C-alpha cells in the first residue's frame, strides 16, 4: 500500500470509529429518553396484577376491560417492529368471531403477513412486564435484535366495530406517540383490508392504491372483467350475506356500488339491531350447522356468512327439502384449486398447484383432492400463519382452514410467468386468454391473508363461469359426518402433538388409546389438540355416520379427561334420541 493510500485508510478507519461512537452516544441518549418516556406513559395504562397475557395464534385476545395496558405496550412494540423492518407495519384491534365484550390486537408485517413468529415472544414479554419494568423489557428487545432506535417508525392502525375499539385504539396510539412514531388511524376496517393496505403502501403502490376505495376498485374491476355475459341456466347472481353484525356488513355495502348490477346482494345481520357474532356469522353457522335465526331463505338460495372481522367466510343453502347444507373452507378450497388448475393447464404454463389444509379438513375433501383432482395436499398446524407458510412451497398455493379462513398465494415467479404469458402474442388465443384470467384472479384474490369479501367474490366468479348452483358445487364430494368437542383440563399444555397435530405425544398413552378407538369404526379418524385461544383441549372425530362420529368424539374425550387432567364432571355420552 502506498503512503498516500495508508494515510487515507487511517483517516477512513478513524472516521468510521468516530462515527460509531457518535452513533452509539446518540442512540444511547435517545434510547434512554424514549425508555424513560415509555415507563412514564405506562402510568396512564397500568397493568393489572396477576394476569398473564399470551400472544397466541391470532395475537392477544381477552375481555376488552383488561386490555388497555396490552394495547399501550403493543403501540411500543409496533414502533420497534417498524424500526427493525425499516418499513410500515400495522396493528389490528379485533377479537374476530368472539363475543362483543372481548377484544384483541394483532400486529401485521410489512407485506401484510402475520407478525414473524420470533416476535410473538417479545410481544408476550412486553405485555407481561410490570409498569416500572417496561424500559428494561424494551431495552432487552432492542439489544437482542440490535434495533437502531433513532430510525423512524410508521404504523397503520384499524379496528373492528366493537364499542371497546376507540379507547383501545387510543391506548395503542399513546404507545406509538411515546416512541415518536408516525401513524395512520384508518378507523373501522376489516382485518384483511388493513393487511392489504400495509402491503400496498410498502410495495409503493405495486399491489394497489393505499386507500379503502382503492381496495374496492381493485377487487371490483377484476370481478367485472371476469364476469362473462350471457344468461346462465343454473347460476343465479343473487346472494344473501350474513354480516355477523360486524364490519363485513358495513364494507360489503361500500363495495356494492362498485359491482354495478352484476350481483344482487342482500345484507342481513348488518349491525342495525343484533349484537356482533351473536347467533350469526361464520363461526355460528359452522359450529351450529344451521342458518342464523331470522334469515328468510328460499330453497337453493346461496347464503354467505362472514365472521366478526371478515377474514373468514362460509357458504350455505337449504336444498329443495329444506335441509341445511354447509359449504365450508374445504369446499371453497376444492372449488378454487379445481378452477385455477384448469386455467393453469389451459395456459400451458408449468406451475405446480397445491392445497394446504389442517387436520380439521373433512377426510372426503382430502381424498377428493388427492384421488380425483390429483392435487397434492399438505397438512399444517391450525392457525393461519402455519398454512400460509406451507402454501409458499407451491407456485400456486391454495390454503383454507375448514372454518373458512384462507386464500391463494402465487409465488413471484408464477406471477411473472402468468403476466408474461397474458401478453405474449406468439401464444394461441386460448392460452393467452387463460393467462389473462389468471392475472385477473390474482387481482381478485387478497394474497396477504384470508379475506371474506375477496373469497366471496372469487367463489361467485367460479360458480358463474361454471354455471353452477350451490347444489352442483356441493355435489363435488360428500362430507363425512364429524363432531368437535372441547374438554376442560387443569393445564392444556399437558396435551402435546406432532405431525401437524394429527398425533398426540403427551400425555403418555393417549395416542395409543385414540388409535384403538378409531380402529373400531368405519372411516374413523380422530385427533386432539390444545386450543390456541381458549383454555381447553379440542377433540375432533369423523366417521361414516353422525352417530358414530359423535360416539368416537365422546370416547376420545373421556380418554383426554382421564389422562390429561380433566376438570369438572367427566364427559357424558351423546344422547341417542
Ligand atoms: C385463531 C386462528 C384461526 C384458528 C383458530 C383456532 C388466525 C388469524 N386465527 O382464531 O385460524 O382456526 O385460532 O382456534 O390464525 P383454537 O386454537 O382455539 O382451536
Ligand atoms: Mg376473524
Q: How confident is the model at residue 17 (pLDDT cuts 50, 70, 90)?
A: low
- For residues 19 and 414, which has the higher predicted lDDT (pLDDT)? 414
**Which of 5-19, 81-95, 182-196 is the least confident region?**
5-19
When comparing pLDDT for 8 and 348, which is higher? 348
pLDDT in tens, 223-263: 999 998 778 999 999 999 999 999 999 999 999 999 999 99
Counting from 1 in the atom list of ligand 1, the atom nearest the Cα of 531 is: 17
Answer whether 369's CB lies under 8 Å from 375's CB. yes
The answer to whether the CB of 448 is under 6 A from ligand 1 is no
For residues 200-210, average pLDDT: 97
CA 408 – ligand 2 centroid, Å: 17
Split at pLDDT 50, 70, 90, the class of 98 is very high
5 has a pLDDT exceeding 70:
no
Q: What's the average model confidence in pLDDT over 352-368?
A: 98
How far apart (Å, rounded) are the C-alpha atoms in residues 508 and 514?
A: 12
pLDDT of residue 61 exceeding 60, the answer is yes
Q: What is the pLDDT of residue 25?
A: 46
Please report the pLDDT score of residue 532 as a whole number. Answer: 86
Per-residue confidence (pLDDT) for residue 283, from 0 to 100: 95
- Among this protein's residues, is 96 annotated catalytic? yes
* Residue 14, pLDDT score: 58
Strands 238-242 and 396-400: unpaired
What is the 501 CA–ligand 1 centroid distance (Å)? 13
Please give the model's pTM, rounded to 2 decimal places.
Answer: 0.93
Q: Band of the pLDDT at 11, cuts 50, 70, 90?
A: low
Q: Check the annotation: does 246 bind a ligand.
A: no
If you average pLDDT over residues 536-544, what whole number do you get? 97
d(CA 374, CA 380): 19
**pLDDT(20) > 60:** no
Q: Specify the pLDDT at position 231.
A: 84
Instruction: Report the mean per-residue pLDDT for the chain.
Output: 94
Q: Please tell me the predicted confidence (pLDDT) of residue 211.
A: 98
In percent, how much of the chain has pLDDT > 90?
Answer: 91
Mean pLDDT to the nearest integer, 296-310: 97
In the predicted structure, residue 523 carries a pLDDT above the cut 70: yes
How many angstroms does the Cα of residue 495 sit away from the middle of ligand 1?
17
Give which of 168, 60, 56, 163 is closest to 105, Cα–Cα: 60
1 pLDDT exceeds 60?
A: no
Q: Does residue 18 have a pLDDT over 80?
A: no
pLDDT at 487: 97
Does 529 carry a binding-site annotation?
Answer: yes
Q: How far is CA 233 from CA 103, 236, 463, 468, 469, in A?
A: 45, 8, 12, 8, 9
For the beta sheet containing 238-242, the strands, ordered from the edge strand earlier in sequence to the opposite edge, are: 264-268, 238-242, 302-306, 313-318, 324-327
SS3 for 354?
A: strand
* C-beta 407 within 6 A of ligand 1: no
At residue 228, the pLDDT reads 80
Specify the ligand 1 atom closest to the Cα of 449. Answer: 8
From 532, 538, 540, the mutation candidate for ligand 1 (largest count of ligand atoms within 8 A of CB) is 532
Residue 177 has pLDDT above 90, yes or no: yes
Give pLDDT tens digits for 462-518.
999 999 999 999 999 999 999 999 999 999 999 999 999 999 999 999 999 999 999
Written as nine digits, the cell of 520 is 373400531
Query: Mean pLDDT across the stretch 271-289?
Result: 95
Per-state percent for the chain, helix, strand, coil, to nearest 5? 45, 20, 35
To the question of whether residue 573 is assigned a binding role by annotation, the answer is: no
The conformation of residue 189, written as its DSSP 8-state character, comes to -
Inter-residue contact 270 to 249 (CB < 8 Å): yes
CA neighbor of 379 nearest in space, from 514, 369, 371: 369
Q: Is 480 helix (H, G, I), strand (E, B) or coil?
A: coil
Amino acid at each position: 500500500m502506498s503512503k498516500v493510500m495508508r494515510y487515507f485508510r487511517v483517516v477512513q478507519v478513524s472516521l468510521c470509529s468516530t462515527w460509531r461512537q457518535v452513533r452509539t452516544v446518540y442512540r444511547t441518549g435517545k434510547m434512554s429518553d424514549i425508555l424513560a418516556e415509555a415507563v412514564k406513559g405506562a402510568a396512564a395504562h397500568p397493568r393489572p396484577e396477576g394476569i398473564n397475557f399470551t400472544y397466541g395464534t391470532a395475537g392477544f385476545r381477552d375481555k376488552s376491560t383488561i386490555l388497555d395496558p396490552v394495547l399501550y405496550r403493543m403501540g411500543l412494540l409496533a414502533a420497534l417492529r417498524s424500526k427493525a423492518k425499516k418499513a410500515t407495519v400495522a396493528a389490528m384491534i379485533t377479537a374476530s368471531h368472539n363475543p362483543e365484550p372481548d377484544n384483541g390486537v394483532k400486529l401485521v408485517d410489512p407485506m401484510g403477513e402475520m407478525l414473524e413468529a420470533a416476535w410473538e415472544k417479545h410481544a408476550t414479554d412486553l405485555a407481561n412486564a410490570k409498569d416500572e419494568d417496561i424500559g428494561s423489557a424494551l431495552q432487552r428487545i432492542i439489544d437482542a435484535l440490535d434495533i437502531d432506535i433513532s430510525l423512524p417508525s410508521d404504523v397503520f392502525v384499524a379496528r373492528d366495530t366493537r364499542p371497546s375499539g376507540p379507547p383501545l385504539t387510543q391506548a395503542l396510539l399513546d404507545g406509538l406517540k411515546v416512541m415518536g412514531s408516525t401513524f395512520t388511524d384508518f378507523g373501522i376496517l376489516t382485518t384483511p383490508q388493513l393487511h392489504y393496505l400495509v402491503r400496498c403502501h410498502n410495495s409503493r403502490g405495486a399491489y394497489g392504491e393505499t386507500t379503502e376505495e382503492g381496495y374496492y376498485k381493485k377487487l371490483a374491476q377484476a370481478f367485472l372483467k371476469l364476469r362473462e355475459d350471457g344468461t346462465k341456466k343454473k347460476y343465479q347472481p343473487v346472494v344473501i350475506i350474513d354480516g355477523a353484525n360486524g364490519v363485513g356488513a358495513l364494507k360489503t355495502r361500500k363495495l356494492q356500488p362498485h359491482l354495478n348490477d352484476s350481483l344482487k346482494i342482500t345484507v342481513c345481520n348488518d349491525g342495525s339491531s343484533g349484537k356482533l357474532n351473536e347467533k350469526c356469522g361464520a363461526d355460528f353457522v359452522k359450529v351450529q350447522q344451521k342458518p342464523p335465526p331470522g334469515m328468510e331463505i328460499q330453497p337453493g338460495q346461496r347464503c354467505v356468512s362472514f365472521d366478526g372481522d371478515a377474514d373468514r367466510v362460509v357458504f350455505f343453502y337449504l336444498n329443495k327439502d329444506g335441509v341445511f347444507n354447509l359449504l365450508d373452507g374445504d369446499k371453497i378450497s376444492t372449488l378454487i384449486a379445481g378452477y385455477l388448475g384448469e386455467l393453469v393447464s389451459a395456459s400451458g404454463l408449468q406451475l405446480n398447484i397445491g392445497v394446504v389444509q389442517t387436520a380439521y379438513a373433512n377426510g372426503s375433501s382430502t381424498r377428493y383432492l388427492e384421488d380425483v383432482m390429483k392435487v397434492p395436499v399438505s397438512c399444517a398446524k391450525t392457525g393461519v400463519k402455519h398454512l400460509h407458510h406451507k402454501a409458499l412451497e407451491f407456485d400456486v398455493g391454495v390454503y383454507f382452514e375448514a372454518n373458512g379462513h384462507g386464500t391463494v398465494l402465487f409465488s413471484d415467479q408464477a406471477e411473472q410467468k402468468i403476466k408474461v404469458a397474458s401478453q405474449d402474442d406468439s401464444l394461441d388465443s386460448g392460452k393467452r386468454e387463460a393467462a389473462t384470467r389468471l392475472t385477473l384472479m390474482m387481482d381478485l384474490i387478497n394474497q396477504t391473508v384470508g379475506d371474506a369479501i375477496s373469497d366471496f367474490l372469487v367463489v361467485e366468479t367460479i360458480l358463474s363461469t361454471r354455471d353452477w348452483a350451490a347444489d352442483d358445487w356441493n355435489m363435488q364430494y360428500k362430507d363425512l359426518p364429524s363432531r368437535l368437542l372441547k374438554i376442560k383440563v387443569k393445564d392444556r399444555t399437558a396435551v402435546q402433538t406432532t405431525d401437524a397435530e394429527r398425533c398426540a405425544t403427551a400425555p403418555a398413552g393417549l395416542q395409543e388409546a385414540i388409535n384403538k378407538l378409531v380402529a373400531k369404526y368405519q372411516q374413523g379418524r380422530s385427533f386432539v389438540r390444545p386450543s390456541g385461544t381458549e383454555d381447553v383441549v379440542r377433540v375432533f372425530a369423523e366417521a361414516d355416520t353422525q352417530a358414530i362420529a359423535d360416539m368416537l368424539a365422546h370416547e376420545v374425550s373421556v380418554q383426554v379427561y382421564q389422562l390429561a387432567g380433566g376438570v369438572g364432571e367427566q364427559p357424558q355420552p351423546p344422547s341417542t334420541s
